[in-house]
A and B are shown apart, each in its own frame.
Chain A
Amino acid sequence: MKHIDNVKAPLLQCKEISKSFGGVDALKKVDLDIFPGEVHGLIGANGAGKSTLIKIISGDITQDSGEIYYEGKPLVLNGPQDAYKLGFSFIHQELNLVPKFTIIENLTLGIKKESKFGLIEWKSEIEKTKEVLKQIGLNHSLDTVVSSLSVADQWLVSIAHSLMRNIKMICMDEPTASLSAEESSNLFQVIERLTSTGVSVLYVSHRLDEIMQLCDGISVLKDGVCVLTTEKSKISRDELVTAIVGREEKSVKKAPSQEYKNNQVILSTKNLTWGNKVKNVSIDLHEGEILGFAGLVGSGRTEFANLLFGVEKPDSGTMQLNGKPYYPKNVSDAIESGVGLVPEERRSQGLVLKNTVNFNINMINLKSVKVSKWIQLLSTKKTTAISRSLVERLQIKTPSVHTQVINLSGGNQQKVVIGKWLTRDLQVLIFDEPSRGVDVGARSEIHSKIRELAKDGKGVIVISSDNEELPFICDTVYIMAEGNLVGKLEGGDISKEAINYKSYEHVINRNTMKKEGRDEQ
């Protein structure tokens, strides 16, 4: 492997970068040095501050304090175009390609082309392009339409697009998330070839084995702080996990209660499978139990919830509700059976933003707000009475129930979505990221509502990427990874550290885990 000459000046140097959003620190005095020709791994749990740091380097947002140096000179980025001009390239998981364009059209996109009489001189473009493609080893005809390529090849096209101009650094965000092992190793070869020409790579990934294999330098972020910067040769995997997860006091949480265990099982699944997103998931949800789902983004939790809620139909496996087979044909069928879901994206999936609080709260309960049995018209009196009582119960801050929800704050919007599901007496409620983008006050109010629901004997499922949230409210936590249940924590064992550890343990011991069975405690 390459030898990193630390005497050499860094290409990019971040010094004491801090950034906060609405009083919450996203980054606290973070240092990051990237040397020319280096692959630098950036790791950390969800919400550790990786995206914020990258957004600052790419000029999307500006740091509150701290300096960035480029080849030793102070650097001020006034926008993404500045980072572009310096030769920085950012490849995100949603690739920035035009799917219907061919490879050559994509590669020359936004790059000044030679032309004669206003017509593009494709001949000279083809020469340039071929050279770049040789460099990354992509053997497709230049006229291949990009959407027909595999994800791995699309990544290569994206990288090639960066190479069409004088590039200094490429930042890759989870490049292997949807690649096979073979495709990944191919990508690593390309990365090595790139760095040998002096290009630096900032490599963001959850996959520790990749980081260990590929990166020269490694930086670990945790809760907005850079807790570790090191060279690969100087650290073991276990030390890396410790750095990501941390060893601190267990967070404050509710007193573990095992009472629910004597209650009836409301909802259960057995070997539920849907494509490669949900694999053989079996759970039991008791009356009065709050069941948490932890895992990295994209681990299949939302997809699992969609199966319970009738949004998608499972390929195989069984579901039971109150001991009877349960196969919701669609969402309305699920609701009629007594299952509700507060979706992940409240603005796009939860609310009709331009309509009023009253409208949104009554959305699923129209059958019971008719004027009378004989007059099947909606009673404004009844709808407003219901929405007023929920506004009071959930302490939704709104001038009136006739205010458009678009004018409410995030936390209050989320309460409106929750309120909608409280208009009906459902047995099972699923909350997908219930407190994302919600301020601290509203968050604890939402948590107390969730607990109240469980106390009323409902079965509650909470999906959260915020590993501090789950220990706080859950009786049981399942950990999901790549569609599998990889761990289960109960009662007093539930802690942020344990969840983080279980999430990563799977990544480290990917092979051994499979043999061990999934429900080990």
Chain B
Amino acid sequence: MSNKNILNSRRSMLLVFSKFGTIIGMVLMFLAFSIAVPSIFPTIRNITNIVNQASLSAIIAGGLTIALIIGEMDLSIANVASFSGVLVTGLMVESGFPVWLAIIVVILIGGVFGMINGLIITKLRVNAVVATLGTGSIIGGISYAYARGVPIASGVPEAFKQISLGKSMGIPNNILIMGGVLFILWVFINYTEWGFQLRAVGGNPSASRLSGIKVDRIKILGLTIASMCAALTGILLASLIGSGTSAAADGYLMPAFAAVFLGSATLKDGDFHILGTLIGVLFISIGFNGLAIFGVPTYVQYFFRGGVLILAVGLSSVARTMASK
């Protein structure tokens, strides 16, 4: 009996660690950086900067959360984001689209990519990792072909750049957009019929089918949303850097995965959820920002990125196995 108790208490300690570990780690990291570089790190300016930078990651990670909730993967999101940046600037500069129209068209095209991913996965029964690895490469290729390998920089309308650089009510637009998108995703997942069905399909596809849920359609929907979020991130990134550059957003893939997995272990038992994803994104952004301020060599940032990804997935699966025991 006592042996079992020790085991149980050890288990519950581990569970607490995985549930609140990300938040505790985030606070510790914040304190450490604040003590180490008090003049730069804990300033309002830097904190705004962190959240601002986190905004783009949070939108793409929010979409990825949906793909993971339905039990699939999407490795093409970063390529979709990169291409969207190129396409949105291209449409404005070369095809003379007004800013609003270019943005809408690009988000819709992002949705089409997601739909194609979904069709390949559900109808051709290609494993999601393989399918999206493939489509990701193809989308990357389209991006280079469209831009002919040259960044589209000159002639980008000022109004477009102001989306990412500007503020409304004193808050950077990116933060507002991120807040809006995550709120919509949260409501969608938790309080709509489709959102409910997304969770059901992710939880048990066969029970969902026998409850009249059209599983394939729901999976396609989830991947479409993931891709649309990726497109929005790409657009905002192009606005931020003022140009459309092939592969500009490729680096968003790994942090997005790390954030979503970190978030799944946070507060819940390994379930993917939007609030957790936001916390995961903030954790990673604080880490990146602090390391950059410290001026650590680039390779350390790579270590951080990879380490966090493995830690995140590990925590997530530990949380899940322990919850199911």
List chain A positions with a Cβ less than 8 A from chain B.
309, 311, 330-332, 334-336, 341, 343, 348-355, 359, 362-364, 366-367, 370, 376-378, 380, 406, 420
Report the separation of the CA atoms of residues A7 and B213 in the bound assembly, to the nearest whole angstrom.
64
A242→B197 CA distance, assembly (Å): 52
Chain B, 202-215, contact with A by CB distance < 8 Å: what is the 0/1 string? Answer: 01101111111110
Interface presence of B74 (CB below 8 A) = no
**How close is A401's CB to chain B, nearest CB, in angstroms?**
15
Q: Which residue of chain B has the shortest Cβ distance to A383 in the bound complex?
A: B196
* Pairwise interchain contact B196-A332, C-beta atoms closer than 8 A: no
B192 & A348 in contact (Cβ 8 Å cutoff): no
Contact B206 A366 (CB under 8 A): no
Known A348-B206, A352-B200, A378-B193; contact A363-B324, beta-carbon cutoff 8 A: no
- Give the chain B neighbours of A353 by CB distance below 8 A: 203-204
Q: Does B187 touch A at the CB level, under 8 Å? A: yes
> A359–B203 Cα gap in the complex (Å)?
11
What separation, in Å, do the CA atoms of A367 and B207 have in the docked complex? 18
Return the chain B residue nearest A310 by Cβ.
B212
Further pairs besides A351-B204, A354-B324: 15, Cβ < 8 Å:
A311-B210, A331-B212, A332-B214, A335-B211, A348-B207, A349-B206, A352-B199, A353-B203, A354-B203, A359-B196, A363-B213, A366-B193, A378-B191, A378-B192, A420-B211
A355 in contact with B199 given A348-B206, A377-B187, A378-B191 (CB within 8 Å): yes
Contacts of B191 in A (CB 8 A): 377-378, 380
Residues of A within 8 A of B196 (CB): 359, 362-363, 366, 378
How many contacting A-B pairs (Cβ < 8 A)? 73
Enumerate 16 A-B pairs (CB-CB under 8 Å) in ascending A order. A311-B210, A331-B211, A334-B212, A335-B211, A348-B204, A348-B206, A351-B204, A352-B199, A352-B203, A355-B199, A355-B203, A359-B199, A363-B196, A367-B193, A377-B187, A380-B191
B interface bracket (residues with beta carbon within 8 Å of A): 20 to 34
Cα A133 to Cα B197 with chains together (Å): 52
- B227 → chain A closest CB, angstroms: 24
Which residues of B have CB within 8 Å of A370?
193
CA distance A366 to B199 in the complex (A): 13
From known contacts A354-B324, A377-B192, A378-B196, infer whether A363 and B204 are also in contact, taking CB-CB under 8 Å: no
Choose among B206, B208, B212 the residue with the greatest number of A CB atoms under 10 Å from its CB.
Answer: B212
Q: Which residues of B does A touch, CB under 8 Å?
A: 187, 191-193, 196-197, 199-200, 203-204, 206-214, 269, 271, 323-324
Q: Whole-angstrom distance between the alpha carbons of A364 and B209 in the complex?
A: 10
Indicate if the CB atoms of B212 and A376 lie closer than 8 Å: no
Assuming the contacts A352-B204, A353-B204, A406-B324, asked whether A364 and B211 have C-beta atoms less than 8 A apart, the reply is yes
CA distance A349 to B209 in the complex (A): 9
Write the nearest CB–CB distance from A514 to chain B, whole angstroms.
34
Question: Which chain B residues lie closer than 8 Å to A359 at the CB level?
Answer: 196, 199-200
Most chain A C-beta atoms within 10 Å of own C-beta, residue among B191, B192, B199: B191
Q: Enumerate chain B residues within 8 angstroms of A366, measured Cβ to Cβ.
A: 193, 196-197
Query: Within the assembled complex, what's the spacing in Å between the Cα atoms of A363 and B324?
Result: 21
A364 touches which of B192, B212, B323 (Cβ 8 Å):
B212
Q: Contact between A332 and B213 (Cβ–Cβ < 8 Å)?
A: yes
A205 to B210, CA, bound (A): 32
The chain A residue sitting closest to B269, CB to CB, is A354
Residue pair B206, A354 in contact (C-beta under 8 Å): no
- Residues on B with C-beta less than 8 A from A378 are 191-193, 196
A352–B207 CB distance below 8 A? yes
Residue of A nearest to B324 (CB): A406
Residues of A contacting B200 with CB < 8 Å?
A: 352, 355, 359, 363
Residue from A309, A354, A380 having most chain B Cβ neighbours under 10 A: A354
B210 engages A349 (CB within 8 Å)? yes
Closest residue of A by beta carbon distance from B214: A332
Q: Given the complex, which residues of A lie within 8 Å of B197, measured CB to CB? A: 366
- Complex interface: chain A residues within 8 A of B212 (CB): 330-332, 334-336, 364
Of the residues A336, A350, A362, A376, contact of B210 by C-beta under 8 Å: A350
- A200–B27 Cα distance when bound, in Å, is 69
Q: Check if B211 sits within 8 Å of A363, measured CB to CB.
A: yes
Q: How far is the CA of A332 from the CA of B213 in the complex (A)?
A: 7
Of A343, A352, A380, the most chain B CB neighbours within 10 A belong to A352
Q: Return chain B residues, CB-CB under 8 Å to A343.
A: 207, 210
The closest CB in chain A to the CB of B205 belongs to A352
Contacts of A334 in B (CB 8 A): 212
List A contacts of B204 (CB < 8 A): 348, 351-353
Give the docked Cα–Cα distance between A202 and B211 (Å). Answer: 42
Compute how far the CA of A420 lies from the CA of B200 in the bound complex, rounded to whole angstroms: 14
